[in-house]
Structure formats: structure tokens, C-alpha cells
Amino acid sequence: DFRFSSQISHLALDIGGTLIKLVYFSSNGDHCEESRDGTSIVVRNNGGSVLQGKLCFAKFETRKIDDCLEFIRFNILHHSGDQHQNGTACDKLTVKATGGGAFKFADLFKEKLGIVFDKEDEMHCLVGGANFLLKTVPREAFTYLDGQKEFVEIDHNDLYPYLLVNIGSGVSMIKVDGDGEYERISGTSLGGGTFLGLGKLLTKCKSFDELLELSHHGNNRVIDMLVGDIYGGTDYSKIGLSSTAIASSFGKAISDGKELEDYQPEDVARSLLRMISNNIGQIAYLNALRFDLKRIFFGGFFIRGLEYTMDTISVAVHFWSRGEAKAMFLTHEGFLGALGAFASYNK
């Protein structure tokens, strides 16, 4: 049924509100874009797998979907005889697709590339992708605390239950009890889209990378109201709050008598990143507590392996759980849904 270029078979897409994620399989790895965000995964023919080669990753902004269509046309579909002159696939081509865009853009892919989506459920794919990574990819999960990244050995017999927190445009929190056994128990609309959207409005920056770069150079204490600001520099030790704990995100802006223009965009970006990460860490912890889950895995493209984000989330989980629960991150964080869709070829 497939008519991919000779070395590439299998393509899965996760078309989200902000980003399109692609996972495809290349038998020799030549067509693999060694992407900035996800490293390729080598698949060997052991354990009964019929595939041997590399899993490759790519991402595009959903608003620039034409770039994605071009990438698929030139890198993944046949270059030669099996393609019509207008670049569409000759035969009916089945591609796995998940995310809201699998519905929204189904006609576009059919019309432009001759691709018919085989749609997979979004939550099912997220969980499938996380389980696939945790079970098959060594050095996938890690903790990040006090500037130290430590890989976590996953015991396959003691993986479940866990809490999966996917931070995309919005945030989903899913209790995972096994393969295909899961329940979406919570979520929040204050996610990566909020960070990017508010960040663009407040700092006038144009892209996520620019906003991250800004936040990297900022100081949140310029704009966040700290416990010490209220207590005159001392801790509120009776309830365990240090003077540097944030009492109110963006709270200083009330009393500073400053306008937005008076703040450095770097500091605004930093406060915003801290606010969103802290909030997600805290909601995740509360949900872990609700179901007595000790392990929380964080995924989604919001994280982007950024130390400051991971540190903030880890500290929030550690602080609220008094060290009982553990925040863990995934090397292929942004590709859970796409990997889950890919894994569904084996159904």
C-alpha cells in the first residue's frame, strides 16, 4: 500500500495546535534529518521487530503547513516514477495521523499529496508513545534537579502506574496504568500556547526560540513579588516559605509604578516561563497526590530540554511533595503523539 521513497517506509504525523511532528522510518538512515530537537532512534532487528534502520524526527509550525507538505513531497514520497508529475503519490498512500490537525487538514493532505490519513486517537497515541519510549529506548528518561541531569533506569516490571503530563499548546494529565490502559484525569489551558501567546504580546518577540533566548537572560525577581518583598527581606519560616519564594507572579508590577515598556523584555519572559512552569508542576503534583502516583513524566514541546523549565517543574514537584514524588523528563519529549501513531502500525 505504501509508495514512499525506496529507503523510507512508514510515516506518522501528529498535527497539533502549534506544531506538526513527523516520525518516519528510514532503512539506511540517509534520509534522516538529524534534527535539532529529537535525535534519531536506531531500530535493530531483535525482539521480533521486522524493521531495521532509523526512526527519524522532524517538526514544523502548524501555521506553516506548506513547508511540511513540501518536506514530505521531496524527502519522503518517491522522487521518481511512482509520483505523479504534480508531486502527488500515485497510489493511495496511508499515513498514520493524530492530533486535531488529522481532522482539520485531512482534505489538504489528500488534495496536495494524495495522502489518506489513517487517524489515531490523540490520548491513545500520547500514552503509546510514552510507553514505547520508556520500554524500548535506553537513556530516555531523566531527572533534572540542581543543575544535574541524571538518567533513570526504567524497570519494565515496575513502570505503572505513572502520571504523564504532556505540555503542548494546552496541558493534558493522564494516569497510565498499562499498555492502552489510561485515563485523562486533568489538564490546564495554561500551557505552552499561553507562554508563547502572552510572551509574544508582552515582549513583541516573534518566535518561541526568541522568547526562550530572552528568558535565558532575564531575572524574574525584577517583576515577581517575592516573600522577602512582603516580609522585608526575611523568610516566613513558620510556614516554610523562604524569602526568595515567589509570593505573586508579576506582583511587583502593581507597586513599581512602571509601565510594560519600563521592564526589560528579558525579565518579563523569565517571569512568564517561571509562572507557567511552576503552575504546571504544582497541578501535576496535586494530581499525582490524588491518585497516589510517585512518578511523573513530563513531555510535550514546551519543555524543549530547557534547564530552567525543567528545574522549575522539578522544584515545584519536589517542594510540594516534600521529596515524595519525582519529576522525570523524556529525551524525545515532543514526539510522544507522533511515536504513538507510528507504533500503531503494529496493531
Footprint on this chain of ligand ADP (rule: CB under 6 A): 16-19, 61, 99, 168-169, 192-193, 195-196, 208, 300-302, 304, 334
Nearest distance from C-beta of residue 153 to ligand ADP, angstroms: 26
Q: Rounded to an integer, what distance in angstroms lies between the CA atom of residue 218 and that of residue 267?
A: 4
Nearer to ligand ADP, 17 or 251 (CB): 17
Q: Least distance (Å) from ligand ADP to the CB of residue 86?
A: 29
C-alpha cell at 329: 523528563
How far is Cα 122 from Cα 132, in angstroms, rounded to an integer? Answer: 15
Query: What's the closest the beta carbon of residue 303 comes to ligand ADP, in angstroms?
Result: 8
Residue 238 CB, nearest distance to ligand ADP (Å)?
37
DSSP 204-267: ---SHHHHHHHHHT--GGGTSEEHHHHHTT--BGGGTB-TTSEEETTTHHHHS---GGGS-HHH
Cα angle 167, 61, 278; round to 5: 25
**Least distance in Å: CB of 195 to ligand ADP?**
5
Distances from the Cα of 27 to the Cα of 41, 115, 150, 342, angstroms: 12, 21, 31, 15
- In the complex with ligand ADP, the residue whose CB is nearer, 93 or 164, is 164
The nearer residue to ligand ADP, 61 or 150, going by C-beta atoms, is 61
> Is 117 or 302 the residue whose CB approaches ligand ADP more closely?
302
Nearer to ligand ADP, 301 or 320 (CB): 301
Whether the CB-CB separation of 241 and 217 falls below 8 Å is answered with no
Whichever of 190 and 230 has its CB closer to ligand ADP, that residue is 190
Cβ 61 to ligand ADP, closest distance in Å? Answer: 5
Q: Select the residue whose beta carbon is closest to ligand ADP and give its number.
A: 16
